[in-house]
């Protein structure tokens, strides 16, 4: 949450910062701000409640010259979205400016003490205490701001990625990180700082990922210097970015979400590339091969994740249990980390996270590490915190996902979980060679089957208009399609703001059935395989109460179709792959309903893509 970008070099900073903020806006978009040191040595801060375009509006006509600057797009934690709570924040003497992503947990104690020392606070944010604390260290210990930064950070409890400027030293910027991501782009006589690579990619592909509790001193015309919080010098490790500019542009689609839905045939192939041997029915995953013994010794698997990744994890449970016969538990990271979970050194904890930065999942990983469990990460963002905090893992390789509502990450996570389950099954001998060949061959057909579903986009868009005025919606599924019901409902509520609930279809009788009347759309995920007859009965129960049925059915199915008011067909597939197909019409349905309601689908209210605070 919150996007950070900074620039120091020979070019004008403002256009680079604004473009960078626009790319980082998915991380938070309730307010935005920029600070620049001008040629005359003045430090100007412009900030506003609203989006980056609102910031641009208030900056119009101002003197925005300067070759050093920092900028921020915010997702509020402490203090409502307002002009004054927006970043950058100043220090008491207005010499220092700071942007921050994360949460300062002991801010209240620090604020009370600093107030007692005569420092004045303008905002309700936790962030402002950091810059005041740095100023306090400078004032009380008579040290430079560079020396004051580690002194101050040693008193801070919580998570931060931050960048600071001092108007008295316009050739320097200081960045620091603990818990929240930050990377430094190294160009020709110029440096960039950002929360992720997207603001940097068109200028340089050389980056340094700042490590935990590291401070970077960035100076014009000098080598990058990195120290830890005790001021011990560290060696910067320059890495090459693999990302391309086209991956972070809309490519002719009106929204990132729609682009990402349509990308799924390609992204699914990318998740499988180089990993399948169809003739042998085998899967090659280095994360599994290199840790074979450890994984085979596991008595159980514990999956930790949040949001959509948790839904993928639930499908992972079904996959791993079916294919390996090992028990799997699926945990919300936020619950797991605080409830003293029972963990054994023989456990394998699988952390699933698109961003690799979700604070609760990262904390769950750290907890599992302390318990001695083996840690396996399924992440999309290469080099992300969770990818680095786990013992091994598997990237989903789908390129950046920018739409706040996760789509292509979900199908890639399910695919990756299948690959892990099948490679374990091969090692354990729990699935015959012939069956593995069947499954791998079918998996290879899935991208084409998704393309076929996507051809019905217009039909789904037409149906979406009917539901623009729905106030509630129920999603039902069984077996592998129960997590799809949860995910379909999540997609609808997060972008259309229509209340939606996902339920295991049979559980409907234990409560939700009371809600059903002729006003209530009920989406039933009812493909042909697995529990088909049972779900048919559930549909009858809804019909008997005049509920309106929208079904996701296997091509050619006449029975569920006859009972439904509307149906979307998906090609037939193995039961374990049904979720990858059945979620596609539900992603499109949510998208088109949200569009029909005039919602901002890529940046829905109150949400953020990367939840780096707990």
Stretch that binds ligand G6P, among 40-48, 72-80, 307-315, 543-551 (CB under 6 A): 307-315
Closer residue to ligand G6P in complex, CB, 174/608? 608
Contacts (CB under 6 A) with ligand G6P, residues 365-404: 404
Q: Compare residues 307 and 527 and give the one whose CB is closer to ligand G6P.
A: 307
What is the pattern of x (binds ligand G6P, CB under 6 A) and - over residues 69-98? ------------------------------
For the bound state, the minimum distance from the C-beta of residue 360 to ligand G6P, rounded and expressed in Å, comes to 8
Nearest distance in Å: CB 141, ligand G6P: 40
CB of 354 to ligand G6P, least distance (A): 4
Place of tokens 């829905």: 604
Tell me whether residue 2 is one of the annotated catalytic residues.
Answer: yes
Residue whose token pair is 């998996």:
443
Pick between residue 27 and residue 49 the one whose CB is nearest to ligand G6P.
27
Touching ligand G6P, residues 588-607 (CB under 6 A): 607
Nearer to ligand G6P by Cβ, of 309 and 423: the residue is: 309
- Chain centre to alpha carbon of residue 45: 29
Rounded CA-CA distance 609/26 in Å is: 6
Number of residues that bind ligand G6P (CB under 6 A): 15
Contact assessment for residue 4 and residue 182, using Cβ atoms and an 8 Å cutoff: yes
Alpha-helix runs per DSSP H in 40-178: 52-59, 107-116, 128-141, 145-153
State the Cα torsion 550-554-555-560 to the nearest 10°. Answer: -50
Provide, rounded to whole angstroms, the least separation between the CB of residue 610 and ligand G6P.
6
CB of 449 to ligand G6P, least distance (A): 24
- Catalytic annotation present for 47: no
Cβ proximity to ligand G6P: between 400 and 547 the closer is 400
Q: How far is the C-alpha of 323 from the C-alpha of 311, rounded, in Å? A: 19
Q: Round to whole Å and give the CA distance between 278 and 275.
A: 10
Cβ neighbours, 10 Å, residue 279: 9
CB-nearer residue toward ligand G6P: 306 or 524:
306
Cβ 1 to ligand G6P, closest distance in Å? 9
**CA–CA distance, 405 with 307 (Å, rounded to integer):** 10
Candidate list 358, 416, 531, 554; residue touching ligand G6P; CB under 6 A: 358
611 lies in the binding site for ligand G6P (CB under 6 A) = yes
Please answer whether residues 389 and 349 qualify as being in contact, where contact means their C-beta atoms are separated by less than 8 angstroms. no
Identify the residue among 88, 102, 307, 585 touching ligand G6P (CB under 6 A).
Answer: 307
* One-letter-per-residue 3-state SS of 224-289: CEEEECCCCEECCCEEECCCCHHHHCCCCCCCHHHHHHHCHHHHHHHHHCCCEECCCCEECCHHHH
Q: Which helix (H) or strand (E) holds 64?
A: none
Choosing from 2, 59, 304, 473, the catalytic residue is 2
Cα–Cα–Cα angle for 264, 267, 268, nearest 5°? Answer: 80
Site for ligand G6P in 123-162 (CB under 6 A): none
**Single residue of 31, 354, 573, 603 touching ligand G6P by CB under 6 A:** 354
Give the nearest distance from C-beta 28 to ligand G6P in angstroms: 11
Q: Which is nearer to ligand G6P, 397 or 548 (CB)?
A: 397
Task: Answer yes or no: are the C-beta atoms of 69 and 61 closer than 8 Å.
Answer: no
Toward ligand G6P, which CB reaches closer, 121 or 332?
A: 332
Tokens representing 294 are 């450890």
Residue 405 main-chain phi, psi, to 5 deg: -75, 120
Determine the Cα–Cα distance for residues 555 and 549; give it in Å rounded to an integer.
17
Q: Tell me whether strands 206-209 and 191-194 are parallel, antiparallel or unpaired.
A: unpaired
Residue 353 is a binding residue for ligand G6P (CB under 6 A): yes
Is the CB of 235 or the CB of 606 nearer to ligand G6P? 606
Q: Kindly state whether residue 406 participates in binding ligand G6P, applying the rule CB under 6 A.
A: yes
Between CA 215 and CA 456 the distance in angstroms is 51
Tell me the C-alpha to C-alpha distance, in Å, between residue 313 and each of 250, 320, 350, 352: 28, 10, 9, 7
- Asked if residues 91 and 38 have their Cβ atoms less than 8 Å apart, the reply is no
Which entry of 49, 111, 449, 609 is annotated as an active-site residue? 609
Q: Which listed range, 172-180, 197-205, 250-258, 351-359, lies at the site for ligand G6P (CB under 6 A)? A: 351-359
Q: What whole-number distance in Å separates Cα of residue 358 and Cα of residue 346?
A: 25
Binder of ligand G6P out of 85, 309, 496, 612 (CB under 6 A):
309
CB 178 within 8 A of CB 362: no
Residue at shortest CB range from ligand G6P: 307
Shortest gap between Cβ of 312 and ligand G6P (angstroms)? 8
Q: Which one of the spans 219-227, 300-308, 542-550, 584-592 is the region binding ligand G6P (CB under 6 A)? A: 300-308
CB of 320 to ligand G6P, least distance (A): 19
Q: Where along the sequence are the contacts to ligand G6P (CB under 6 A)?
A: 306-309, 353-355, 358, 361, 404, 406, 607, 609-611
Residues designated catalytic: 2, 609
């Amino acid at each position: 949450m919150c996007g950070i970008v900074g620039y120091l070099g020979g070019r004008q900073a403002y256009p680079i910062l604004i473009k960078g903020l626009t790319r980082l806006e998915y991380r938070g978009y309730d307010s935005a701000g920029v600070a620049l040191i001008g040629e005359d040595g003045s430090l100007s801060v412009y900030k506003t409640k609203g989006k980056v375009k609102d910031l641009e509006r208030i900056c119009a006509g101002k003197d925005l010259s300067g070759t050093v600057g920092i900028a921020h797009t915010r997702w509020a934690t402490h203090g409502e979205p307002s002009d004054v709570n927006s970043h950058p924040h100043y220090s008491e003497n207005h010499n220092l400016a700071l942007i921050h992503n994360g949460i300062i947990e002991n801010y209240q104690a620090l604020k009370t003490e600093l107030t007692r020392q005569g420092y004045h606070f303008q905002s309700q944010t936790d962030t402002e205490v950091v810059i005041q604390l740095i100023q306090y260290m400078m004032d009380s210990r008579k040290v430079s701001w560079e020396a004051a930064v580690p002194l101050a950070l040693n008193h801070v409890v919580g998570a931060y990625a931050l960048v600071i400027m001092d108007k008295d030293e316009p050739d320097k910027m200081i960045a620091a990180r603990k818990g929240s991501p930050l990377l430094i782009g190294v160009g020709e006589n110029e440096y960039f700082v950002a929360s992720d690579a997207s603001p940097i990619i068109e200028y340089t592909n050389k980056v340094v990922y700042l490590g935990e509790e590291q401070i970077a001193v960035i100076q014009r015309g000098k080598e990058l210097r990195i120290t830890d919080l005790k001021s011990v010098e560290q060696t910067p490790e320059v890495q090459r970015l693999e990302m391309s500019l086209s991956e972070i542009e809309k490519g002719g689609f009106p929204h990132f979400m729609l682009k990402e839905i349509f990308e799924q045939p390609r992204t699914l192939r990318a998740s499988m590339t180089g990993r399948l041997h169809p003739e042998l029915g085998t899967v090659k995953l280095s994360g599994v091969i290199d840790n074979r013994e450890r994984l085979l010794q596991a008595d159980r698997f514990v999956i930790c994740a949040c949001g959509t990744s948790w839904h993928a994890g639930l499908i992972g449970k079904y996959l791993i249990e079916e294919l390996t016969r090992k028990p799997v538990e699926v945990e919300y990271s936020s619950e797991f980390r605080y409830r003293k979970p029972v963990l054994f050194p023989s456990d394998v904890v699988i952390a699933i996270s698109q961003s690799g930065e979700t604070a609760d999942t990262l904390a769950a990983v750290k907890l599992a590490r302390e318990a001695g469990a083996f840690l396996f990460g399924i992440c999309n963002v290469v080099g992300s915190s969770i990818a680095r905090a786990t013992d091994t893992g598997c990237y989903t390789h789908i390129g950046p996902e920018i739409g706040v509502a996760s789509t292509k990450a979900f199908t890639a996570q399910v695919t990756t979980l299948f690959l892990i389950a099948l490679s374990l099954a091969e090692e354990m001998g729990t699935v015959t060679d012939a069956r593995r060949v069947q499954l791998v061959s079918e998996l290879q057909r899935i991208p084409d089957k998704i393309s076929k579903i996507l051809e019905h986009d217009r039909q789904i868009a037409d149906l979406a208009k009917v539901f623009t005025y729905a106030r509630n919606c129920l999603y039902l599924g069984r077996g592998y399609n129960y997590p799809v019901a949860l995910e379909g409902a999540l997609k609808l509520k997060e972008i259309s703001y229509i209340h939606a609930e996902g339920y295991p279809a049979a559980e409907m009788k234990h409560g939700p059935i009371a809600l059903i009347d002729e006003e209530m759309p009920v989406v039933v995920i009812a493909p042909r395989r697995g529990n088909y007859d049972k779900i048919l009965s559930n549909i009858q129960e809804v019909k008997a109460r005049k509920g309106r049925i929208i079904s996701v059915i296997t091509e050619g199915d006449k029975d569920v179709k006859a009972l439904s008011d509307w149906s979307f067909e998906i090609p037939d597939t193995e039961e374990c792959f049904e979720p990858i197909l059945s979620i596609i019409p539900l992603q499109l349905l949510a998208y088109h309903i949200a569009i029909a309601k005039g919602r901002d689908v890529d940046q829905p209210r109150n949400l953020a893509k990367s939840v780096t605070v707990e």
